[in-house]
Amino acid sequence: MFHKFKQNLIFLYTLTTGLILTLVVFMAFLFSAFSQNNRREAAFQNNLFSLTSKLQTDSQFTDAYLAEMELRNSLLIYIEENGHPLFFPGAWEPDGGRDALLDRAAAEAKKEGIYEGSQPISSDLLKSSVFRIKGAHYDTWLGNVMIIRTESGYKKMILLSDETQNRRSILKTGLLYLLMDLLGIFLLYLSGRRFVLRSTQPLEETYEKQRDFVSAASHELRSPLAVIQANASAIQDAPGESPRLLAVIQSECDRGSALIKNLLLLATADSKSLSLHKQNLEIDDLLLHLLELYEPVFLAKNARLLLELPEETLPYVQADPQLCLQIFTILLDNAAAYGLEQSSSPKVLLKADCSSGSVYVSVTDYGVGIPGDKKLQIFDRFYRGDRSRSHKEHFGLGLSIAAELANAQGLDLDVQDTPGGGCTFVVRFHVAQG
């Protein structure tokens, strides 16, 4: 379930962020290509201006000058005067041939009314717009044709600029941007995967806990229901045993009711809807009340419940009285059930003291204690150690409920080893301000 859910989230994250990145990269590429084209056209206009100025002011061109212009700027220059070509063979030969390209340029200019024998009328210069022509080998050229009036007649110039390198440069730039985009998408995938895995981990853990919780709860509820069903059938077969069987049914109903009550309490804690009524609480009064309640319980087990309070009055703490009472009820029930087993001194110590701005209340037994590897598990729901399996009335929920009630109030609940054997549960309260 969660595997497919996480994969969908990663895909959706990568898709959305990847599309945004691709759009940004594409816009950057268009801007880069546009800038390169503008620079190329600006260079062509500069060369055109230089040659035009020279045509208008100089009577002669040297082959060296024209050759340098062609080679340095990837140009083709053709000049004629009064219909007679200038004797300049060209500094280089393009793949498609000079003549073929010049003929295409002349044909393009003719579309604008600039052709052999045409003369400037209203000015000294007749000039075509800048056009593009294609060569025979997928090459592209910027071109311009102009006719300049002179004292002796006219001069005609065809100027072509090779754009092939510029196109290749743009193509390389495009490939570079594409690789950057793909790399960016891959990095987005990795970051999205990491983000999704980290963000869904608590959800997955909660789901697993809920699934285990439901499974364990179903198992625990099945047991009293089976007993009730079996005894109800037995009443029909043996009416004379009804009082005993009804007592068993009542006991199992009470057991199931207690389980459901605990399950509802845990569900309320999980939903963060636990009702809290925090107030200034006197720990002394709470512990004296617990002593009064549980002293008969321990006497019935031939054990003692001892209370140890400091000589000075304990400060008020911020807590919910009813929830705190329930926490210590669970801890004392747990001590009465397990802390007296194999104890050389059948007693439980209820102790309070104050230190470093906190009030500590401990419940100490002197039994066999809890193994070190089990201490982290005792607060898990439905966890029961080997010694608890004989206690049918316990579901393994008590300590987990105590931990939830403590956490809801911002209290700390911890378990420690008792020196000489046994375990000590410690609850830390924060002293009330003011």
Give the pLDDT confidence score for residue 390 in this predicted structure.
45
Q: Where are the domains of the chain?
A: 2-169, 279-430
Identical fold, 2-169 and 279-430: no
DSSP line for 222-282: HHHHHHHHHHHHHHHH-GGGHHHHHHHHHHHHHHHHHHHHHHHHHHHHHTT------EEE-
Residue 307: Cβ-neighbour burial (10 angstroms; 0-12, 13-18, 19+)? middle
- Alpha-carbon 225 to chain mean position: 45
Q: What pLDDT is attached to residue 401?
A: 81
pLDDT in tens, 256-313: 666 676 666 666 666 666 777 889 999 999 999 999 988 888 888 888 999 999 988 8
For the ranges 18-32, 81-95, 176-190, 379-393, the lowest mean pLDDT is seen at: 379-393
Q: If pLDDT is split at 50, 70 and 90, which confidence band does 254 have?
A: low
116 pLDDT above the threshold of 70 = no
Task: Say yes or no: domain 279-430 is CATH 3.20.20.70.
Answer: no
Q: Report the distance separating Cα 352 and Cα 310, nearest Å.
A: 7
**SS3 state of residue 357:** coil
Give the pLDDT mean for 197-221.
72
Degrees to nearest 5, angle at CA 102 with 99 and 104? 110
Single out the residue of 314, 224, 323 nearest to residue 274, CA to CA: 323
pLDDT confidence bin for 338, thresholds 50/70/90: confident
The separation between CA 56 and the C-alpha centre of its own chain, rounded to angstroms, equals: 69
- Residue 346: what pLDDT? 87
- Does 395 have pLDDT greater than 60? no
Helix H, strand E, coil C: the string for 378-422 is CCCCCCCCHHHCCCCCCCCCHHHHHHHHHHHHCCEEEEEECCCCC
* Cα(265)–Cα(274) distance, integer angstroms: 8
Predicted local distance difference test score (pLDDT) of residue 286 = 92
pLDDT reported for residue 135: 86
Q: Which CATH number fits domain 2-169: 1.10.238, 3.30.43, 3.40.50, 3.30.450?
A: 3.30.450
Higher pLDDT, 50 or 235: 50
Alpha carbons 96 and 313: distance in angstroms, whole number: 106
Beta bridge partners of 305: 348
The pLDDT assigned to 117 comes to 64
Most confident stretch, 184-188, 196-200, 325-329: 184-188
Confidence band for 136, pLDDT divided at 50, 70 and 90: confident
pLDDT at 61 over 90: no
pLDDT band at residue 375 under the 50/70/90 scheme = confident
Q: So what's the pLDDT on residue 165?
A: 85
Total residues found in the chain within this entry: 434
- What is the predicted pLDDT for the residue at 383? 66
Between β-strands 125-127 and 140-150, what pairing exists: parallel, antiparallel or unpaired? Answer: antiparallel
pLDDT tens string 163-176: 988 888 999 999 99
- What pLDDT was estimated at residue 141? 93
